[in-house]
Amino acid sequence: MCTFSDISKQKFPDDPEVTAFFAELKPLLKKAIAMYKSKMELPDYALAATAIKDDIMTVSNKEANHPGIQQFQNIFRGHPERMFQWVKSPYIPAENNFAGRGVRPPVIAGKFSFGSQSERGVLTRDC
């Protein structure tokens, strides 16, 4: 899978297509992620979220020559019903890092306690 870092301006600083793609898509993705924290009423949320989704799809459906951009666009084109669940409800985040942040505290605790598979880790977590 192609990520932002794979086709970033740092990797292709002189490619105008990459620069234009990022200039257009990045602010839209930031807006989508910020929608999760908004306190909008549901009808207002639905209108705003749908407008952002439509703008993201416009960028994703533009013709691109750069293979990295095409690969990234295909993520949105391939399964829009999966990508835009956040449009349905303000309680659904637009990014998948939400789950990762949820399990982070126990993972960090396990690292600091030497894990639960070692005798030392069991003794540390037993207290």
pLDDT of residue 98: 66
CA 110 to chain CA centroid, Å, is 26
Other Cβ atoms closer than 10 A to 94? 22
Question: What is the rounded CA–CA span in Å between residue 99 and residue 117?
Answer: 24
pLDDT along the chain (127 residues), means of 10: 56 82 92 88 94 96 92 88 90 79 71 63 59
